[in-house]
């Protein structure tokens, strides 16, 4: 079999429809918290602090730019090597990105324990159609230099199985270190979770696009540092990533409406760019196909 044919088969095997036939299995979406609300979406949270290991995919991102400016955001682990976040956390209109430090397994940012790790990004991938003015396609990936070692403190969140899944009129929970503002020193900070109601698409605000959606909270707020952070829904004892926080108000603003990138609409893009971080089951049929094709090219 020629290399051209093998490359074609490898390309086809990585297309979204193949992913749906033979989905990723990272043992994803499992919370190992022994107390706290454990992501229970049945009641509205009032900015509750997370307990240790409650959201083990939650990551903290510290992005530095050429002018010395830093942007703090949240993100989520999706596989062995990739963190998903908002594109605006990784891009400045006038200055280039120098590097991103990624904190995984972290809880209290001012008191990192033995389960926490800080990685310097090896690459950053922004959606090619990201619009800095409208925040359309506000989604990006940060690649780590090494594969993560999963533990109760470090786990991947599950991704939606189908593009059509929208999760409208459901209650989901957004997570992040929401008390920090841009360019402030890190204090003794713990991550929080706030429940939001996912509304039907607002045609005026979303310009008719299914790639963005709105989630609301009457009492609480999604602060700036939740930007880039995960909006997750718990189903069948596992957590699925529904949205990536795109626009959030300042912490003092009440009755806020957050805007999110709809992850299900980006599954093809995510799988295409995050394939190097695969965490398939070693015994899966799909994994064997990919391994066989790649070994044929070496």
CB distance 277 to 194 below 8 Å: no
SS3 annotation, 202-215: CHHHHCCCCCEEEE
> What DSSP element (H or E) covers 62?
strand 58-65
**CA 15 to each of CA 23, 125, 208, 275: distance values in angstroms, whole numbers, following the listed order:** 11, 18, 26, 10
CB distance 75 to 229 below 8 Å: yes
Residue 10, pLDDT score: 61
pLDDT in tens, 24-41: 556 899 888 754 444 455
Give the E-state strand segments of 204-267 in sequence order. 212-216, 230-235, 238-247, 257-262
Averaged pLDDT for residues 271-283: 67
Residue 74, pLDDT score: 92
pLDDT in tens, 82-129: 999 999 999 887 778 889 999 999 888 877 888 899 999 999 999 999
pLDDT in tens, 133-185: 888 999 999 999 999 999 999 999 999 877 656 677 788 888 887 654 443 44
DSSP output for 6-43:
HHHHHHHHTSHHHHHHS---S--S----SSS-TT-TTS
Q: Provide the 3-class DSSP secondary structure of residue 280.
A: coil
What count of other Cβ atoms lies within 10 Å of the Cβ of residue 56?
A: 25
255 pLDDT exceeds 90?
no
295 pLDDT exceeds 60?
yes
What are the backbone dihedrals phi and psi of residue 69, each rounded to the nearest 5 degrees, phi first? -75, 145
Q: Which letter does DSSP use for residue 264 in this model?
A: G
What are the backbone dihedrals phi and psi of residue 286, each rounded to the nearest 5 degrees, phi first? -60, -45
The per-residue pLDDT of the chain, averaged, comes to 76
Helix/strand/coil percent split, the chain, to 5: 20, 30, 55
State how far the Cα of 15 lies from the Cα of 1, in Å rounded to an integer: 21
Low-confidence winner among 49-53, 106-110, 247-251 (lowest mean pLDDT): 247-251
Share of the chain above pLDDT 70, in %: 66
pLDDT in tens, 205-229: 545 567 888 887 766 555 555 789 9
Both structure tokens of 88: 């605006």
As a residue count, the chain comes to: 298
Give the E-state strand segments of 92-158 in sequence order. 97-104, 117-120, 123-126, 140-143
**CA 30 to each of CA 25, 60, 178: distance values in angstroms, whole numbers, following the listed order:** 12, 19, 23
State how far the Cα of 41 lies from the Cα of 275, in Å rounded to an integer: 31
Averaged pLDDT for residues 221-239: 79
Domains and CATH numbers, the chain: 3-25+280-297 (no CATH), 48-276 (2.40.10.10)
Highest mean pLDDT among 20-34, 52-66, 190-204: 52-66
């Amino acid at each position: 079999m020629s290399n051209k044919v093998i490359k074609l088969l490898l390309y086809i095997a990585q297309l979204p429809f193949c992913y749906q036939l033979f989905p990723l299995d990272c043992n994803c979406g499992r919370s190992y918290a022994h107390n706290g609300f454990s992501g229970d979406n049945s009641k509205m949270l009032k900015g509750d602090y997370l307990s240790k290991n409650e959201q083990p995919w939650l990551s903290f991102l510290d992005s530095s730019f050429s002018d010395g400016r830093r942007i703090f955001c949240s993100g989520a682990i999706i596989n062995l090597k990739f963190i998903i976040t908002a594109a605006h956390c990784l891009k400045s209109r006038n200055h280039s990105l120098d590097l991103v430090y990624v904190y995984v397994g972290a809880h209290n940012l001012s008191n990192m324990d033995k389960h926490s790790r800080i990685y310097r990004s090896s690459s950053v991938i922004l959606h090619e159609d990201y619009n800095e003015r409208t925040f359309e396609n506000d989604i990006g990936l940060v690649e780590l230099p090494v594969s993560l070692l999963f533990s109760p403190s470090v786990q991947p969140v599950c991704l939606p199985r189908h593009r059509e899944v929208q999760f409208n009129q459901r209650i989901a929970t957004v997570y992040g270190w929401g008390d920090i503002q841009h360019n402030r020193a890190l204090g003794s900070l713990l991550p929080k979770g706030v429940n939001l109601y996912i509304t039907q698409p607002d045609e005026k605000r979303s310009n008719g696009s299914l790639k963005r959606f709105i989630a609301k909270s009457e009492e609480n707020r999604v602060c700036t540092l939740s930007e880039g952070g995960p909006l997750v829904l718990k189903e069948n004892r596992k957590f699925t990533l529904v949205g990536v926080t795109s626009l959030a108000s300042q912490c003092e603003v009440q009755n806020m409406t957050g805007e999110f990138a709809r992850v299900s609409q980006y599954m093809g893009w995510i799988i295409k760019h995050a394939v190097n971080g695969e965490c398939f089951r070693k015994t899966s049929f799909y994994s064997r196909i990919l391994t066989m094709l790649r070994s044929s090219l070496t």
